[in-house]
Amino acid sequence: MNTPLPPGQRERPDFPRFGLLPFATRFPSQTDRIDLHVSFPDSGTAPASAPPANVGTDVGNPLAQLPRVEQTSDFHCVTTWTRRGLRWGGVRFADFYEQIVAPLCPADPAAARFVVLRAQDGARTSLPLEDLLSPGVLLADHLDGQPLPMEHGAPLRLIAPAHYGYKSVKHLNRIEFWRSDEHYRPYGLRFMVHPRARVALEERGQWVPGWLLRHLYRPLIGMTVARFEHGMRERRETLDPGEK
């Protein structure tokens, strides 16, 4: 019944908390309410020679105003694990963009097509606007019928099912719409970050072919899952010292 997995992916029965190692022990400071900041750092009315104008607005909780959707999709981590059939709840990024973002843009919104997404734990990623406007891309606040747990991105995350997991930023709190990508520096090692990271095309990273990265990454999965589990356990014990 299942469709074949994308190239190089292997199914995992569970859905581990995951990411680059420094994030194993970093957590968001605010999970009880959604608070999203939207900005247009180089779309201001100042002359081009001036520093970026950084016109920004707190939009609060965009999910309160937009049609809710539920979507079941597979989740593909670049290190080759796939978790199938996750049921996400939230709003479509395209609705958020059309109804909230575009009307706030101080200049031509169509010119600000390079999107940077930032998280409360310091993680960041970028995608072209056209990729984010695909109907499968959500701002999600629910997973399998429950509010997003801390492990999976409370209180709000991006879900971009056609892209590797590193584009689906958890604990999302800031989105920037840039006309130019020249001010953006990806997190971590450059070869690990593809500007689009489409799963179907195996765009795992840059310069190194996807099939080679499979073999580099696969041995790291077990250790990474263990570190992220340990980080979560330590945090629980700090918050509730009685619990073991």
Q: Omega into 155 within 30° of 0, i.e. cis? A: yes
Rounded CA gap, 218 and 221, in Å? 6
Q: Residue 152 touches which of Mo ion, ligand MTE, none (CB < 5 to 8 A by kind)?
A: ligand MTE
Q: Residue 93 touches which of Mo ion, ligand MTE, none (CB < 5 to 8 A by kind)?
A: none
- Please say which residue, 77 or 158, places its beta carbon nearer to Mo ion: 77
If one asks whether residue 90 binds ligand MTE (CB under 6 A), the answer comes out as no
Residues 6+ apart with CB under 8 A from 141: 34, 63, 89, 90, 147, 148, 155, 156
If one asks whether residue 224 binds ligand MTE (CB under 6 A), the answer comes out as no
State which H helix or E strand residue 239 sits in: helix 221-239
Structure tokens that stand for 61 in this block: 């909780």
Task: Say if CB 112 and CB 46 are below 8 A apart.
Answer: no
Q: Residue 170 touches which of Mo ion, ligand MTE, none (CB < 5 to 8 A by kind)?
A: ligand MTE
- Please say which residue, 78 or 112, places its beta carbon nearer to ligand MTE: 78
Q: Residue 176 touches which of Mo ion, ligand MTE, none (CB < 5 to 8 A by kind)?
A: none
Using CB under 5 A as the criterion, what x/- string covers residues 153-192 for binding Mo ion? ------------xx--------------------------
Task: Say if CB 118 and CB 177 are below 8 A apart.
Answer: no
Structure tokens that stand for 92 in this block: 């479509």
Q: Please give the residues from 10 up to 29 whose contact with ligand MTE meets the rule CB under 6 A.
A: 15-20, 23
Reference 77, options 168, 194, 2, 138; nearest CA is 168
Bridge partners (DSSP) of residue 11 are 82
Q: Residue 8 touches which of Mo ion, ligand MTE, none (CB < 5 to 8 A by kind)?
A: none
Among 92, 113, 152, 163, binds ligand MTE (CB under 6 A): 152
By CB under 6 A, name the binding residues for ligand MTE: 15-20, 23, 77, 119, 121, 123, 152-153, 165-166, 168-171
